Structure 1
Amino acid sequence: MKINKKLLSAFLVALLIFSFVTGCSVDEQKEISSDQEDNQENMEADGEKILRRASLSAPSGVFNPLLNNDDYNAYVTDLIYENLVTLTPDLEFEPVLAEEWELSEDARSITFHLRKGVKWHDGEPFTAEDVKFTYEFIANPKYPGAYSSYINAIEGYEARKSGQADELTGVEVIDKHTVKITTSEVYAPFLEKICFWIRIIPKHIWGEVDIEKANESTELLRNPIGTGPFKFTEFSPDRYTIVEKNTDYWDGEAKLDKIILQVVNPETAQAQMLNGELDYLPLTTLEPDNIKMYEDAGFVVEEFKYNAYQNMIINNQNPVLNNKWVRQALAYGIDRQGIVDSILYGYGNVANQIYPTHFWPYPGDDQINHYEYNPEKAIELLTEKAGWEYKDGKMYIDSNPAKFTLIYPSGNKARELSAPVIQENLKNIGIEIELQMMEFATMAAQVEEPSPDAFDFALMGHGIGADADVRTFLHTDFIFNGANYCRYSNEELDKLLEEGMKYLDIEKRKPIYAEVAKIVNEEMPTLYLYNYSSAIAIVPNLKGIRPHAFTSAYNAVNWDLE
């Protein structure tokens, strides 16, 4: 692969400077690099295909997918363990350990027919008992992990979790290769929450472990056994993790022989990529010159979209702001496209309701108001619809200057840069904004405080997952009991959000959530700013990669270095 030598020289100089500043000597850097290079040369001498993938922070070594607590552990477990079903990057469900499934007439039960001939990495057969054990593991009263909320819709969960029952009754083994899962009521995100997010663990490995002390089982945690296309080989804390292909994988051998998940410092990762030490790097900035540098050096930059949005939360408990004309005026008064272009460098799009434009609930561009930047329209709405007064370039509410506070967290560059833009834009329509930057935890506590005076506006981001259920953000029941931080209540919207949960068939749900989107677009309960993207840089001969917002290892069996 051809590398731009001038760029490389510049970044190697930066690497030396960084080494001096951080106290890590050049000799130490060389020693680590030399170890990796020697290892790499030995492996490549055998003609193996080895992918060197960057991890921008070190995994803790909790390689149990039901116990791991960060993305860096997940980079490893996603390659080793599998779920019943997965999601494509287009958010379509496709079979994994379950090759097919059937929905009951009352839409509360799904019967999964498991693949036959699947083996754990130690050679033991995979069966329905492993599936039941996995859900029992999470439902156990002593379970220390974070996935309880993903399965709490399963029938019998509350009784098992409280210790009143010894079994999770909603998961039934029919036979060796068939399992039936039943929910307490119709649960629309069934496949996503219960089947996609939960990866199956082996009963014969974890069945004798005291669940309360599972996080202390270091030997098991650092020697994971899964069913996936890659199996665990080696873990060197703070340095790397190695997995190798599973030669007995049910879907055929992976095209790569090994993957090295190499811990790198974000400050020097770019130089390592340019120096040919890495093949795959998650990008921390999408600044155009940075992207161009990678592309000019011969790398491929792959963008992918998140099912998430950034918004300026509006406190609808404030009677002045609990007015759709005011909220619409704010949408017209802020140059959101300018924020996307200048702060996101175009890697995103203006959001005008809660669903990203690539997501199936989105009703279509022709069904919504796009609130294109129009200060004159904003002033018109505030004066003619909301009853405010505009004179000498300033807005007045009942003879008082229109003045509000915008709080936002430190540490998030996009929000830090957006805040003064919003302040200036609103000043141009006569609204005075005081900016207050604070630690995220402090801001979150203020946003959650149940008081009309807790805040006016707040910059925050939300991910909505792979399902259209957004009750936690917009339903009345989730004010102070979820993520309805804008404190918005709308009876018609509540009914639609409840109706959407009654069906598993997406085609039946689409018109319901399209109507949700249209109401939200009209009411603008919170000011949606933008949807955003991320990207990876990869070597040009790496094929089969399909970047995914919800898993780091989609299609890993077909990744290839050609």
Structure 2
Amino acid sequence: MKKYLRFGKVQSVAIASLLLLAACGGDDTSSEGGNNSSSNNDGNGSSEQAGDIFSIEDFNHEIRADGEEIIDGGTLNVALVTDTPFEGTLNRNFYQGVFDGDILYWTEEPLLDYDEDYQYTQTGAATFEIDDDGRTFTFTIRDEVNWSDGEPVKAEDWAFTFEVLGHPDYPGVRFTEASNVEGFDEYRAGEADSISGLEIIDDKTLKITFKEASPSLLASGIWTYAMPKHIFEDIEVADMESSPAVRENPVFFGPYVIDSITPGENVVMKKNENYWRGEPNVDEVVLKTVNPNVLNQALQNGEVDIATYQTDQYADNYESLTNVDFIGKIDLAYTYIGFQMGTWDEEENKNVMDPDKQVSDVNLRKAMAHAVDNNAVGERFYNGFRWAGTTLIPPSHPTFHNDELEGFAYDVELANQILDDAGYEDVDGDGLREDPNGEKLQLNFASMSGGDTAEPLAQYYITQWKNIGIDVQLLDGRLQEFNTFYDRLKASDQDIDVYQGAWGVGSDADPYGLWGSTAAFNYTRWTNEESDRLLKEGTSEAALDMEYRQEVYNEWQELMLEEVPAFPTLYRSELHAVNKRVVNYSELPGSEFFNDRSQIGLTAEEPETAN
């Protein structure tokens, strides 16, 4: 057998050289996979040299007025940083793309607020009481909460939403968000004419009974995005997603209402003068797509006031951006490498594994996980704003993230040994291994375009896997455009073997939405009875005891390191660039400005520009 490169724990200078070689082949694209969205694009401006190393802990989390006078009205310009048109599915019950979610954040409110610990509070559009059984909630929508067309937000609107999610013609993936309601599964299966867990008490009061008491219920475990029944009730459920009520003139009860849409390019919003918290300070908010390659220029010139900022461009550009402030936080997300091992059964709404897939061998997956140095990637590509992931519950949830687990340490020698022991040998002497049956082993790697980092980062992974004798090629020989990437993952495209994704974990630590056997976002299509058992136990009534829930999730994290349907690559920080004329702005969950964007204000008619 051919002798493979075995260099174990190499010195940092060697890693820097390897990353530099990978980066030199790059173009102006980026590779970030998605989530519930919440998928994200990142560019890179410093992949050739590490430069300064930063920590997100050194950044402020919000910008307050602190005595500055806020002008009346004005226009706030917000960037959707992407080289891809947004999809334009402007309703939480149907959307999937992260940029649609960014648009909705200004218009569509949840009925419940939550605090800095991601626990529901009594300060939102609805309040609630919990029965002694721990699973029956009575919600009261405030009298002053109205849709932007003047109609009151009613209990029947919220109940109608669950009926849409459970309808057999519902085309989206949010049905899993409602499956904890008593009777929902029976309704979805056509075994009942109504959802037994829903009871409309009066116009403003809705009682919801859940299947069981769970700690997840108070941490985003309740679907709180209502649909205006008077708008949607005459539209066939199968047609709702493409209807004008979603695509052209949606109705919300948030601080801003949509005035006009240029499909894929921009959305103009006017303030909702009847907003229940009070009239917003800003007259108009314009969200527009801005290519990552021109973002710095747009910020310097004052073309945009607010932008999610690629952390890997910060080191090269922050000194020139004298007209903006940066706020930051630890992101509720992580990037990962996933192995596509099956298909999605649309009739049964479940994932089905295919044992004949090449990546179904856990030894191959473990070896590939040990072959990449994510610490070096975090420093070289992201200047410390990202760091090596170790488990599939990130440190954004410190109670449940097991920081004692080391994950897949970078160890090429170990990776080679795993493959040797599993029977992967170079039969024909070309420097690449065949599978244990002596058949050609070639894997297709799907990675997404967008920003300078995409190509070099994808090539780095491919190079590292080649160093242990695994032949991995880019799917179709190129990076995949954002929408194409997710369409192919959603369809379980069998040409995909390995993919680079990202997942927004949300406010609850429960990982089922990405890794459950019936989770539509489980693009690996991996299933495991023990994993499902643990995930169910982690949201059970017994898990109201936080120590017990922690033990369950520790066991699950260990199982995932053994099974390796995917491995985390990087935990993430998030930066936002904010023009110095913007005040009362926060991206920190639980902040008064995060929950209430009507308080955002401007201190000048025109944005500041860089010196």
* 1:73-98 Cα shifts (integer Å, max 9, x gaps): 44443323322224557544334222
Q: Residues of 2 paired with 1:471 and 1:223: CA distance?
A: 34
Do the aligned partners of residues 124 and 524 (structure 1) sit closer, same or farther apart at CA in structure 2, a change above 3 Å counting? closer
Do the aligned partners of residues 122 and 478 (structure 1) sit closer, same or farther apart at CA in structure 2, a change above 3 Å counting? closer
AA at the equivalent of 1:308: Y
Partner of 2:460 in structure 1?
A: 421
Residue 446 of structure 2 is aligned to residue 409 of structure 1: yes
Q: Residues of 1 paired with 2:141 and 2:159: CA distance?
A: 12
AA at the equivalent of 1:171: L
Partner of 2:600 in structure 1?
A: 559
AA at the equivalent of 2:385: Y
Deviation at 1:418, TM superposition (A): 3.5
* 3-state secondary structure, aligned to 1:226: coil
Aligned residue among 106, 119, 132 for 2:146: 119
Q: Does the 8 Å contact 1:59/1:237 carry over to 2?
A: no
Aligned residue among 312, 334, 343 for 2:372: 334
Which structure 2 residues correspond to residues 140-539 of structure 1 after superposition, within 5 A?
140-143=167-170, 146-161=173-188, 165-184=192-211, 189-190=216-217, 195-196=222-223, 198-209=224-235, 211=237, 213-214=239-240, 218=244, 222-232=248-258, 234-237=259-262, 240-264=266-290, 268-283=294-309, 286-292=312-318, 295-300=321-326, 302=328, 305-311=331-337, 313=339, 317=355, 330-360=368-398, 362-365=400-403, 367-376=404-413, 378=415, 404-409=441-446, 411-412=448-449, 414=453, 416-426=455-465, 430-438=468-476, 440=485, 444=489, 449=494, 458-463=498-503, 465-466=505-506, 467-471=508-512, 477=517, 483=522, 485=524, 487=526, 489=528, 492-503=530-541, 505=544, 507=546, 508-521=548-561, 524-539=564-579
AA at the equivalent of 2:599: N
* 1:135-169 Cα shifts (integer Å, max 9, x gaps): 33444455555533332443333554466654333
* 3-state secondary structure, aligned to 2:499: strand
Deviation at 1:51, TM superposition (A): 1.6
Partner of 1:110 in structure 2?
A: 137
Do the aligned partners of residues 531 and 381 (structure 1) sit closer, same or farther apart at CA in structure 2, a change above 3 Å counting? same
Do the aligned partners of residues 86 and 465 (structure 1) sit closer, same or farther apart at CA in structure 2, a change above 3 Å counting? farther
* 3-state secondary structure, aligned to 1:260: strand
Query: Percent of aligned pairs with the same residue?
Result: 22
Q: Residues of 1 paired with 2:237 and 2:398: CA distance?
A: 39
Deviation at 1:236, TM superposition (A): 4.8
Do the aligned partners of residues 313 and 72 (structure 1) sit closer, same or farther apart at CA in structure 2, a change above 3 Å counting? closer
* 3-state secondary structure, aligned to 1:133: helix
* 1:302-359 Cα shifts (integer Å, max 9, x gaps): 4552423211538695899878777655544422212222234433221122111222
Deviation at 1:247, TM superposition (A): 4.3
Q: Does the 8 Å contact 1:61/1:237 carry over to 2?
A: no
Residue 162 of structure 2 is aligned to residue 135 of structure 1: yes
Do the aligned partners of residues 339 and 506 (structure 1) sit closer, same or farther apart at CA in structure 2, a change above 3 Å counting? farther
Deviation at 1:279, TM superposition (A): 0.6
Do the aligned partners of residues 120 and 371 (structure 1) sit closer, same or farther apart at CA in structure 2, a change above 3 Å counting? closer
AA at the equivalent of 1:84: L
* 3-state secondary structure, aligned to 1:355: coil
* 3-state secondary structure, aligned to 2:410: coil
* 1:26-46 Cα shifts (integer Å, max 9, x gaps): xxxxxxxxxxxxxxxxxx998
Which structure carries more relative contact order (alpha carbon 8 Å, separation 6+)? 2
Partner of 1:12 in structure 2?
A: none
The number of aligned residues is 505
Aligned residue among 76, 79, 91 for 1:54: 79
* 3-state secondary structure, aligned to 2:148: coil
* 3-state secondary structure, aligned to 1:85: coil
Provide the alpha-carbon RMSD of the alignment: 4.7
AA at the equivalent of 2:579: V
Q: Residues of 1 paired with 2:316 and 2:91: CA distance?
A: 36
Which structure 2 residues correspond to residues 2-41 of structure 1 after superposition, within 5 A?
none
AA at the equivalent of 1:250: W
Deviation at 1:399, TM superposition (A): 10
Q: Does the 8 Å contact 2:369/2:408 carry over to 1?
A: yes
Deviation at 1:200, TM superposition (A): 1.7
* 3-state secondary structure, aligned to 2:500: strand
Partner of 1:37 in structure 2?
A: none
Q: Does the 8 Å contact 2:589/2:595 carry over to 1?
A: no
Q: Residues of 2 paired with 1:323 and 1:299: CA distance?
A: 48
Deviation at 1:254, TM superposition (A): 3.3
* 3-state secondary structure, aligned to 1:286: helix
User: Structure 1: 5+ residue runs without aligned partners?
Assistant: 1-43
Partner of 2:106 in structure 1?
A: 79
Q: Residues of 1 paired with 2:96 and 2:401: CA distance?
A: 35
* 1:8-58 Cα shifts (integer Å, max 9, x gaps): xxxxxxxxxxxxxxxxxxxxxxxxxxxxxxxxxxxx998424321123566
Q: Residues of 2 paired with 1:424 and 1:212: CA distance?
A: 45
Q: Which has the larger radius of gyration?
A: 1
Q: Residues of 1 paired with 2:87 and 2:435: CA distance?
A: 57
Q: Residues of 1 paired with 2:366 and 2:246: CA distance?
A: 55
* 3-state secondary structure, aligned to 1:346: coil
AA at the equivalent of 1:218: P
Partner of 1:10 in structure 2?
A: none
Q: Residues of 1 paired with 2:88 and 2:472: CA distance?
A: 44
Q: Residues of 2 paired with 1:62 and 1:324: CA distance?
A: 38
Do the aligned partners of residues 110 and 70 (structure 1) sit closer, same or farther apart at CA in structure 2, a change above 3 Å counting? same
* 3-state secondary structure, aligned to 1:373: coil
Partner of 1:39 in structure 2?
A: none
Q: Does the 8 Å contact 2:393/2:401 carry over to 1?
A: no
Q: Does the 8 Å contact 2:423/2:436 carry over to 1?
A: no
Deviation at 1:514, TM superposition (A): 2.2
AA at the equivalent of 2:183: G
Q: Residues of 2 paired with 1:287 and 1:448: CA distance?
A: 33
Deviation at 1:513, TM superposition (A): 0.9
Do the aligned partners of residues 307 and 285 (structure 1) sit closer, same or farther apart at CA in structure 2, a change above 3 Å counting? closer
Q: Residues of 2 paired with 1:487 and 1:74: CA distance?
A: 27
Partner of 2:584 in structure 1?
A: 544
Aligned residue among 85, 97, 102 for 2:125: 97
Q: Does the 8 Å contact 1:89/1:549 carry over to 2?
A: yes
Structure with the largest fraction of helix: 1
Do the aligned partners of residues 274 and 101 (structure 1) sit closer, same or farther apart at CA in structure 2, a change above 3 Å counting? same
TM-score (norm 2): 0.67
Q: Residues of 2 paired with 1:253 and 1:168: CA distance?
A: 37
* 3-state secondary structure, aligned to 1:307: strand
